[in-house]
Amino acid sequence: MSENNAPPSHESDSVRSRPGWDAYFMDIVDLVSRRSTCLRRAVGAGLVRDKRILATGYNGAPSKLQHCLEIGCLRDQLHVPSGERHELCRGLHAEQNAIIQAALHGVSAKGSTLYCT
């Protein structure tokens, strides 16, 4: 406390900027995307309701299956162009994983917003 019993000021001469809520949650799902196990693309997603994160997910193989970082990507091995032969991919979308995580933990996604990179 300062001499006049007011808490010390931590503001600098310039006004500090804070991200809005959408930017904040997009920054978080960008970080989530770094957990991706896909060799082609890293995607993160998060379910948010009332400014609270309900669940997050990233793209990659389902739980308990080997992922592409461990065994390689079949689509890469077969030289499949981007956007083709998705049926060869073992991975789940980040959005799917976020919804699955919410369901596994008994969290309703009703009324939530999905943020996705």
Give 26-49 pLDDT, tens digit per residue: 999 999 999 999 998 999 999 999
Residue 1 is assigned to a structural domain of this protein: no
Q: What is the CATH number of the domain that holds 43?
A: 3.40.140.10
Do residues 100 and 107 touch, judged by C-beta distance below 8 A? no
Residue 12 is assigned to a structural domain of this protein: no
Residue 8 is assigned to a structural domain of this protein: no
21-33 vs 94-104: helix crossing angle, rounded to 10 = 100
H or E segment and range at residue 47: strand 44-49
C-alpha–C-alpha distance, residues 14 and 2, integer Å: 22
Tens-digit pLDDT profile for residues 67-83 = 998 999 898 899 999 88
Q: Which domain holds residue 52?
A: 21-116
Residue 6 is assigned to a structural domain of this protein: no
Residue 98 is assigned to a structural domain of this protein: yes
pLDDT at residue 113 above 90? yes
33, 25, 29, 100: which is closest to 63 by C-alpha?
100
User: Is residue 12 very low, low, confident or very high in pLDDT (cuts 50, 70, 90)?
Assistant: low
Task: Sheet with 52-58: list strands edge to edge.
Answer: 52-58, 44-49, 113-116
> What is the tally of structural domains in the chain?
1
Please give the model's pTM, rounded to 2 decimal places. Answer: 0.80
What positions carry a catalytic annotation?
A: 95
Identify the pLDDT of residue 76. 87
Residue 77 is assigned to a structural domain of this protein: yes
pLDDT at residue 13 above 60? no
